[in-house]
């Protein structure tokens, strides 16, 4: 609990408080500490025969909390969005998504250069980052409101379903049920601009679904969650093999292969066939666009200013101490990013192998997801705060898991 509280503090009111170098280190360490504490808390806690039986009172109470919490969040965010009309000079994500949606609805080629912005760029967003806004566009709803609705309904709904499947004491359940709405409200209150120009809560929702799906017994649910994340952002890519390996060992080869096959079918059906197969250079154009965006941000950065110095990521170390020009320093960070992400997965795999007889594999899978994402976003090339916020919402699941109680002992029948 202390680690999660510190993680929130370092993300919001203490962001950058200890300077651009110590702040990201401390933020990452408390994130890793939360994962480590959750893992240790669940050692020798058997999984039980199935999820905890649903209690009507808790289910009704949690959904009542969802209703009240959503009203509070909407009330807090309404003046923020009203005071921040879409401005491409502050954030270009919504105008870019509007281009995707407009082209898709009119039957045009989606993935071609966008020229109606202050600068030309090639689309580099995967389909599930913009397809959800086709309905919003048809209904004339601001994409940011639509994103908030997806986060509250899909993401936080998945969290509540996860919470009701755990064995938690009533007080712990009540406190944890309030957490996502309280956390989002806290972010809006202390950093109103965090989601003012972005639609990041859609991505948050996807990763909440992924975290919850780890405890599902349905291959379809797990595959759908993987597709949502893989086709919205590449962040989870290196973690997927670890998850499939855990399923192979613990749920059996058939279950793991079914999840892999369904995930592949989703990727092919949603991305490869309708878009990528029309132009196989799309993927490489997107990578080039990321490099251009990174170079632009790094070029505008100065000592003590810019997102690199915001206190959330390690990019500042490479900017300040990396050898060579900006391109060389960015390339060095990219290599470190891959090595750190793969290293986080390898460390998690090693922890599973060492503790496999003392640990529920689902605990390891969820904790490893939290640890991996914290590492991935710590080494990201441009540590935007709204991107990093994803790790705290996944951290809610890790925190809740740490409080899970062991199943009640089965009474033995004794001969009289």
The pLDDT tens digits for 141-183 are: 999 999 999 999 999 999 999 999 888 888 899 999 999 999 9
Largest CA distance in the chain: 85
**Average pLDDT of 338-354?**
97
* Terminal-to-terminal C-alpha distance of the chain: 47
Q: What is the pLDDT of residue 355?
A: 93
For the chain, the helix, strand and coil percentages under 3-state DSSP, each to the nearest 5: 70, 0, 30
Q: What is the pTM of this model?
A: 0.94
Q: What is the pLDDT of residue 416?
A: 35
Q: What one-character DSSP code corresponds to residue 278?
A: G
Q: What is the pLDDT of residue 305?
A: 62
Query: Does 304 have pLDDT greater than 70?
Result: no
Written as six digits, the tokens of 4 are 């999660």
Percent of the chain with pLDDT over 90: 71
- Annotated domain spans of the chain: 2-402
Reference 334, options 317, 356, 315; nearest CA is 315
Query: Does 236 have pLDDT greater than 70?
Result: yes
Written as six digits, the tokens of 336 are 């470190």
Question: For 217-306, where are the alpha helices, taking DSSP H only?
Answer: 219-230, 240-250, 253-267, 282-300
Query: Does 3 have pLDDT greater than 80?
Result: yes
Alpha carbon distance 61, 57 (integer Å): 6
56, HSE (Cβ side, Cα atoms, 13 Å): 0
How big is the chain, counted in residues? 416
**Average pLDDT of 274-295?**
82
Query: Does 410 have pLDDT greater than 80?
Result: no
Q: How confident is the model at residue 278 (pLDDT cuts 50, 70, 90)?
A: confident
Alpha carbon distance 399, 392 (integer Å): 10
Q: How confident is the model at residue 91 (pLDDT cuts 50, 70, 90)?
A: confident
Residue 294 vs residue 72, higher pLDDT: 72
C-alpha distance from residue 274 to each of 127, 261, 268, 270, 297 (Å): 10, 19, 8, 7, 32
Alpha carbon distance 409, 357 (integer Å): 19
**Average pLDDT of 286-307?**
78
Query: Does 65 have pLDDT greater than 90?
Result: no
Q: What is the pLDDT of residue 200?
A: 95
Written as six digits, the tokens of 243 are 């998850």
Percent of the chain with pLDDT over 70: 95
């Amino acid at each position: 609990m202390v680690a999660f509280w510190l993680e929130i503090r370092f993300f919001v009111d203490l962001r950058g408080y200890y300077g651009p170098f110590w702040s990201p280190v401390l933020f990452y360490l408390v994130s890793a500490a939360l994962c480590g504490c959750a893992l240790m808390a669940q050692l020798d806690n058997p999984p039980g025969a199935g999820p905890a039986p649903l209690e009507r009172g808790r289910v009704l109470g949690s959904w009542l909390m969802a209703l009240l919490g959503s009203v509070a969040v909407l009330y807090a965010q309404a003046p923020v969005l009203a005071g921040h009309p879409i401005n491409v000079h502050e954030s270009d994500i919504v105008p870019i998504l509007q281009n995707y949606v407009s082209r898709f609805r009119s039957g045009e080629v989606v993935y071609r250069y966008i020229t109606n912005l202050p600068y030309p760029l090639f689309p580099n967003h995967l389909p599930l980052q913009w397809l959800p806004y086709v309905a919003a566009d048809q209904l004339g709803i601001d994409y940011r409101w639509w994103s908030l609705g997806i986060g509250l309904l899909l993401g936080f709904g998945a969290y509540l379903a996860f919470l009701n499947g755990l064995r938690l004491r009533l007080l712990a359940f009540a406190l944890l049920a309030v957490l996502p709405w309280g956390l989002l409200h806290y972010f809006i209150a202390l950093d109103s601009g965090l989601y003012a120009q972005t639609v990041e809560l859609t991505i948050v929702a996807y990763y909440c679904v992924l975290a919850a799906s780890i405890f599902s017994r349905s291959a379809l649910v797990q595959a759908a969650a993987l597709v949502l994340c893989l086709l919205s952002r590449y962040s989870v890519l290196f973690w997927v093999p670890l998850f499939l390996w855990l399923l192979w060992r613990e749920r059996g080869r058939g279950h793991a292969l079914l999840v892999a096959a369904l995930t592949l079918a989703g990727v092919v059906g949603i991305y490869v066939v309708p878009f990528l197969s029309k132009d196989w250079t799309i993927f490489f154009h997107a990578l080039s666009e990321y490099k251009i965006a990174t170079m632009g941000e790094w070029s505008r950065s100065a000592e003590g200013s810019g997102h690199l110095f915001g206190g959330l990521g390690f990019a500042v170390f490479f900017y300040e101490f990396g050898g060579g020009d900006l391109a060389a320093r960015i390339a060095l960070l990219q290599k470190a990013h891959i090595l750190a992400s793969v290293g986080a997965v390898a460390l998690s795999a090693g922890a599973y192998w060492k503790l496999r007889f003392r640990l529920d594999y689902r605990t390891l899978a969820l904790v490893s997801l939290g640890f991996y994402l914290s590492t991935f976003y710590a080494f990201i090339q441009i540590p935007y705060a709204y991107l990093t916020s994803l790790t705290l919402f996944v951290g809610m699941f890790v925190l809740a898991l740490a409080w899970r109680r062991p199943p009640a002992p089965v009474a033995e029948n004794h001969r009289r």
